[in-house]
A and B are shown apart, each in its own frame.
Chain A
């Protein structure tokens, strides 16, 4: 059904990733990848500081909506194997 949880600060249900002016054009590859990176970096930093990872949910929601499932699975495998090329 339409309506998952909306990460704070946001009231109501999560609609879909909003327009991101950093990626205004047709090629949204970087939008997906950047949010994936930002989510993992956020989780790593919050965990290191012992804080709640709730603010990282926004990045999760965006990359989960935008990134093809196969890409996310491949990257997760690479992170697990230690072969992921991005800096997290």
Chain B
């Protein structure tokens, strides 16, 4: 989850998020290189007594500073498109879970077998136990099996919301009347936190999402106990 003084992304818990992390590192490095080059050149320009008042043309440097940026853009675009297509790959999910956004909580439905559904409200700050995270904990977590491809279907019962879990690289809008699909796959067990990511009223900041990824056996035991 997010931690104090955080500068970068949260640790990745899915292969797609790992790819996004590396892509971000790659692109940010390019951005830093270009920015420092430009800043250096500006500083050179401002600290020289040399002048040249009769410039007519500069074909060579113009060619270079056209071709080079084109190459840099291609070097950014290719990995970006690779990840985009990777996110769209056809996979065969083993489980389907629906989540409906409400003002101001999420409800979850597991209806592949029996009808299991429950609401997930934020735990108010006054009721937190020691060690729990403020504005992030919920009463009923979304328990899911790890290392399995899960189809998430996201919608809303009232206004726009957005279901986001940063460590899995997920953010999908919850739109009333529309069923949006995203694929969830966690490589490790653990608790993964997220928050509603589309303004939805007064308690928009107080409807978090908590995923509890566990081995399949624990998931089966949990779902049987919830029925």
Contacts and interface: CB of A to CB of B under 8 A. Distances in A.
Interface of A: 1-4, 14-19, 24, 26-29, 31-32, 64-70
Nearest to B224: A1
B94 A15 contact: yes
A1 B223 contact: yes
Given A1-B224, A70-B100, A15 B179 contact: no
B112 A14 contact: yes
A29 B7 CA distance: 38
Given A1-B224, A65-B112, A16 B94 contact: yes
A67 B95 CA distance: 14
Nearest to B177: A29
B124 interface: no
A24 B60 CA distance: 49
Interface string B119-141: 00000000000000000000000
Contact-size category for B: 20 to 34
Chain B interface mostly:
mixed
Contacts of A16: 93-96, 112, 151
B113 A17 contact: no
Contacts of B95: 15-16
Contacts of B212: none
Nearest to A3: B113
Contact of A32 (B90, B92, B179, B224): B179
Interface in B172-210: 172, 177-182
Q: Which of A2, A14, A17, A32 has the most CB of B within 10 A?
A: A2
Contacts of A29: 177-179
B36 to A, nearest CB: 39
A2 to B, nearest CB: 6
A22 to B, nearest CB: 13
Given A1-B223, A28-B153, A14 B180 contact: no
Contacts of A70: 100, 157
